[in-house]
Copies of this chain bind each other. A is one copy, B any other.
């Protein structure tokens, strides 16, 4: 695991964010590894994000959005 963080463990907003990211990634036929690489994040970390295990900070949101060729808001809201 990316570390069981008691403070945000299973926080709905993170779960939702992770699902959304996975959805967007899969809709482009990309692997976790390729997106992780493209965004400059660790593959293991990125996997954890999709599983809602990380309280991702803004700069990483941006990196992920960029790697998926979308905007940050698209990570939170369906167009």
Contacts and interface: CB of A to CB of B under 8 A. Distances in A.
Interface of A: 7-8, 11, 13-14, 17, 55-59, 61-62, 71-73, 76-77
Contacts of A56: 57-58
A62 B76 CA distance: 11
Contacts of A59: 7-8, 11, 13-14, 55
A44 B57 CA distance: 19
A39 to B, nearest CB: 14
A47 B4 CA distance: 29
Nearest to A77: B73
**8 tightest A-B contacts by CB?**
A57-B57, A55-B57, A73-B73, A73-B77, A73-B76, A72-B76, A55-B59, A8-B59
